[in-house]
Amino acid sequence: MAAVTRAGSPLLWIILRRLGLSAALLLAVSLMIFCGIEALPGDFATTYLGQSATPEAVENIRRELGLDRSLSARYLSWLGGAAQGDFGTSWANRNSVSVQIGNRLGNSLFLAFFVALIAVPLAVGLGMLAVQYRNRFPDRLISLLSLAAISLPEFFIGYLFILFGAVKFGVARFPATVYDGMGFGERLSVIALPVATLVLVVLAHMMRMTRAAILNVMESAYIETAQLKGLGRFRIIARHAAPNAVAPIANVIALNLAYLVVGVVVVEVVFVYPGMGQYMVDAVKVRDMPVVQACGLIFAAIYILLNMAADTVAIVANPRLRHPR
């Protein structure tokens, strides 16, 4: 029991330290988001009332929204509310930001889940296949297609899918104007084109990183020992090389999963998808600062959380990190 405790303590301590650093980083990012948005030129009251608004009307709106208070007071009030899940009220439509974000975040997570469900296993499998046939036709074909996918802009891929998938062949629904209230099957039909677009966008990057990580491990001495024992190449890749390449693969998967939630603004706008990216773009247009601040903080939290999860996976998978000297 004592041995187990001593062995487990370093791992627990490392994870707790990562949690503390992540919390401190999120706090620093929240300050940067709030101050950065406050430093932007222009004023919501003027934008809301128009250029012909009187100074008295502008001042009344600023007082109503609490913009007449000091910067530090407004930041602490916003941070305290955010810590309790309350992001305030939207300036544009006077609705709860938390409720609106809950709906939009659910849509974005629904989309990201199905993209990850397809892209992650496919990327790992294609990466292993490329290593299996290194410098041969399958490897060259996979590399060529991945380079093409990386080179094409997201909006271009999206419009191609709209043209052929929705307009010419009608195999998917577009646009997603009545997404809320749909059944599960209808929602899958609506997200078919965005999912296909995002799979192509993230698949190539994850596949190339998987290939590079496994090839790096294949240069190790124990891989040569396995080859001398007569083990098949794919068995060596799957059972010996891939498990020891988990850390870099986990990092690139985490970054791409974060992108699927916080970086798909272009794709959501192209497909009129009611997710977080579209929500933030609409808020920026009307300078709805509570919404922009809330979206920025949630995006940062997702990035930090997924990166911490990738670090934890890397620590668990690597004994040298679990037992540092």
Report the chain's mean pLDDT, rounded to a whole number: 82
Report d(CA 107, CA 115) in Å as an integer.
13
What domains lie within the chain, and their CATH numbers?
104-279 (1.10.3720.10)
Classified as helix, coil or strand, 96 is strand
pTM of the prediction?
Answer: 0.80
In terms of C-beta density within 10 A (0-12 exposed, 13-18 middle, 19 or more buried), how is residue 123 classed?
A: buried
Per-residue pLDDT, averaged over 186-210, amounts to: 87
Per-residue pLDDT, averaged over 194-198, amounts to: 90
Q: Which of 140, 122, 132 is nearest to 234 (CA)?
A: 132
Whether residue 3 has pLDDT greater than 90: no
* Percent of the chain's residues with pLDDT above 90: 10
Alpha helix locations (H) across 50-151?
Answer: 55-65, 71-83, 97-132, 137-151
Whether residue 324 has pLDDT greater than 60: no
Q: Which of 278, 304, 316 is nearest to 24 (CA)?
A: 304
Q: Which of 134, 126, 136 is nearest to 204 (CA)?
A: 126
DSSP H or E stretch at residue 310: helix 289-317
DSSP H or E stretch at residue 160: helix 154-161
Report d(CA 274, CA 264) in Å as an integer.
11
What is the torsional sign of CA 91, 93, 98, 100? negative
Per-residue pLDDT, averaged over 214-236, amounts to: 81
- On the question of a cis peptide bond just before residue 324, with omega within 30 degrees of 0, the verdict is no
| Each residue's pLDDT tens digit, 276-314 | 888 888 888 877 888 889 998 999 999 898 888 888 887
Whether residue 20 has pLDDT greater than 70: yes
Whether residue 2 has pLDDT greater than 60: no
Whether residue 24 has pLDDT greater than 90: yes
pLDDT, residue 175, reads 52
Alpha helix locations (H) across 165-288?
Answer: 184-217, 221-228, 233-236, 246-262, 265-270, 276-285
